[in-house]
Structure 1
C-alpha cells in the first residue's frame, strides 16, 4: 500500500486529539530533559567537577537518561506516539506516518518542554547553569556529527521496529523499554566524545538557558540526518508494501 503524505485538513489545528498529543509531547519531553540534564547538575554538585569524567559518572548519566526516557515514552506512547525528539518526529514524517502540521506541533512542544525543564532546573538548583552538550577536547566536530548520525539512526530504527511496524505484534508492549535501552547504550558509547544527544530538543533547552552554544549545530544536523535516514530505510526497505499503513499516533485516523 503506498505511503501517504498530508498537511491535514484545517480542522486538525484545533482538533482535541491534536491538542492532547501536543501537550503529551511537551510534558514527556519536559520529564526527560529535567531528569537527564538534572543528572549532570547533580553529579557536578556532588563531585565539584564536570560530570561524566569518570566511568561511574558516565553510567549514572546513561541510567538517568534511559530510565527517564523509558518512563516518558510509556506515559505518552498511546497519546502522541511517544516521540520526545524532533529527530523521531522527522523520521516518521519522512515515512508518511505523521502529517506536516502535527509534526510542527510536536517540534514546538518538544523544544518548549526542553526549555521549561532547563529553566526550572536552574531555578531549583539555586541558579546552577545547565551543562548542555559539547564535543570534548580532542574530538573533531565532524567526528561528533558522524556519531550523532549513527546513534540517532539506531534510536529511530528501534522506535520503528518496536512501536511503529504494523507487524510488531506483542513486541509493542516492550517498545518503551527497548527505546530506553538503546538510548542508554548509545550514551555509554558517545557520551565521552560528544555527550550523545541524539535529540535536538535535549540539546536546545540547556543550551538556551545556560547560553552554551558551542558545537550546537551538530546536535541538529546529525540527529535529523540519522533519524530521517532510519525512517526512510525502515519504511521503504523493511515494512512490506502490502501491509496496511497505520499512523504511529492514535489520532483521528479517519482524517487521513
Structure 2
C-alpha cells in the first residue's frame, strides 16, 4: 500500500490510552464490546496515481453489540463463483478498505436471496475455499480442524490464529491447506463434515448452518451449533472477559 508503518509499541500505547480515557463507553452486557480499529488514510492535497506524501492515522472506537442480529446462531452462506474478492499478488492479505469494496456487489446479491454472508473462492480456479466477507472459515472434517492456508489472498486473522492455537492445545489435529467446495459437498454426504464456523474480530465465532453452491445446498450439523464450535466460543470469550485464565498473554488490562 506504500503507507508508512506505525511503530507497534506506539500503536499499542495509543490504543491502551484511548480505552483508558473512554472507559465509560465500554458496554457491560454479555456479547458486547468496545470495537477498536486503527485506521490510516491518505491525506495529501493532490490528484494523481501515486502514493500520498501525507497520511492521517486515527483509531475508531465504538461500542458494539452482537455482530449478527440472531446472536450465536448458525448462519447461511452463499458460495460465490462469479465474482472474486482478491487475487494472489494483490491486497487480499491486508486489512484494506478496497478488499471490502470488492465484496459489496456479491454480498448485496446474496443478501437479497436471504443469505447472511458470502464465501469466496480462489480467483484462479474458482473451486478452493478462501474466506467469508468478514471472517476466516474453518471446517471440522472428521476429527481434523481444517482451514484455508495463507497464500497471499486471505487475511491472516488474529481470531483465526487464536482458534488454531487453542485447537492444538486441546489435542485437535489442525490442517492449513486447500479445501475445495467439491470436497465439502462430498464430506457432507459421507457425514465427515461435522461442523463449520467463521472467525473474526467482530463476530468472534459464527457457526455455519448451511452452504449453498450453484444448485446445491448442504446442511451442516442440522443447523445447530456444534459442540466444538461452542467450546471455542466459550473459551475465547472467557479469556477475553477474564473468566478463564489467559495463559497466552493475549489480554491487556486497562
TM-score (norm 2): 0.28
TM-score (norm 1): 0.28
Q: Which has the higher strand share?
A: 2
Whichever of the two has the greater Rg, that structure is 2
